[in-house]
A and B are shown apart, each in its own frame.
Chain A
Amino acid sequence: NAGVTQTPKFRILKIGQSMTLQCTQDMNHNYMYWYRQDPGMGLKLIYYSVGAGITDKGEVPNGYNVSRSTTEDFPLRLELAAPSQTSVYFCASSYSAGEYYEQYFGPGTRLTVT
């Protein structure tokens, strides 16, 4: 199993550009999550999904969009990139949610917006 994979690993965007961060998991997990990690801060939830076709906002959703057309894929779309979106983005997945279901993380995407 590859686990959770993310592409790209690094990206530099100019202000106003758009891009899609890809996330794929091969563990047949129902739940998928997008987090951002800013220096000196804890991870913050952007969006999550409890299954194909179902998504919901997390703590910091502004400026992002997601879709979940398949169990495996959960892409994160940045529209009109802003410097405040410079961060490291992690995708994670779990079979379910709560105390018996640990989350598995992808390797992260380091995004810089200039």
Chain B
Amino acid sequence: KNEVEQSPQNLTAQEGEFITINCSYSVGISALHWLQQHPGGGIVSLFMLSSGKKKHGRLIATINIQEKHSSLHITASHPRDSAVYICAAYMNYGGSQGNLIFGKGTKLSVKP
């Protein structure tokens, strides 16, 4: 079982819809990273957060450390938002600096 789970795996929306992508994790973490992977394959960072909420344009990320859950919201979705959204968690265990654990991603398709 993956320590970081995302839902849904696939999501199709109409342009303008409000979108929510969920991420849950099974162990203690220090921070969560939301990433976007473009259809061409490139990966860019959207947010890094350890508590509360962050907003950037039409994107909002929230995290509840106690409930081990984070959400990524997209308001007024647009076809250019079509991409794979990945959450990755920095786990608390060990001293390794390579302890970023990735979810499998949520593939979002926004139809015009």
Question: Is A64 an interface residue when CB atoms closer than 8 A count as contact?
Answer: no
- Flag the segment in A21-29, A76-84, A98-106 that touches B: A98-106
Asked whether A100 lies within 8 Å of B97 as measured between CB atoms, the reply is no
A75 CB–B CB distance under 8 Å: no
Select which of B31, B44, B90, B96 is within 8 A of A105 by beta carbon: B44
Question: Is A40 at the interface (CB under 8 A from chain B)?
Answer: yes
Which of A40, A43, A56 is B102 in contact with, Cβ under 8 Å? A43
Across the interface, which residues of B come within 8 angstroms of A48, CB to CB?
97-98
The interface residues of chain B, by DSSP majority, are classed as: strand
With the chains together, A31 CA to B90 CA distance in Å?
15
A42 interfacial contact with B, CB 8 Å:
yes
A 32-45 binary contact with B (CB < 8 Å = 1; else 0): 01000000111111
Tally inter-chain residue pairs, CB-CB below 8 A: 63
Instruction: Collect the chain A residues with CB atoms within 8 Å of residue B50's CB.
Output: 99
Does B33 contact A102, Cβ atoms closer than 8 Å? yes
For the complex, give the distance between the alpha carbons of A30 and B100 in Å: 16
Q: How large is the interface on A (under 10, 10 to 19, 20 to 34, 35 or more residues)?
A: 20 to 34
Is A108 in contact with B45, judged by CB distance below 8 angstroms? no
Minimum CB–CB distance for B109 against chain A, Å: 16
Bound-state Cα–Cα, A41 to B101, Å: 12
Complex CA gap A51/B86 in Å reads: 27
- Is residue A88 within 8 Å, beta carbon to beta carbon, of the partner chain? yes
Q: How far is the CA of A99 from the CA of B88 in the complex (A)?
A: 11
Given A56-B96, A99-B30, 9 more A-B residue pairs with CB atoms under 8 Å apart are A42-B86, A42-B88, A42-B102, A42-B105, A44-B102, A56-B98, A99-B48, A102-B45, A107-B41
A-B residue pairs, 10 tightest by C-beta: A99-B31, A42-B102, A97-B97, A105-B43, A48-B98, A102-B45, A43-B102, A99-B50, A42-B104, A102-B48
Residues of B within 8 A of A (CB): 2, 4, 30-31, 33, 35, 41-45, 48-50, 86, 88, 90, 96-98, 100-105
Q: Which chain A residues have a beta carbon within 8 Å of chain B's beta carbons?
A: 31, 33, 40-45, 48, 50, 56, 58, 88, 90, 92, 97-105, 107-108, 110
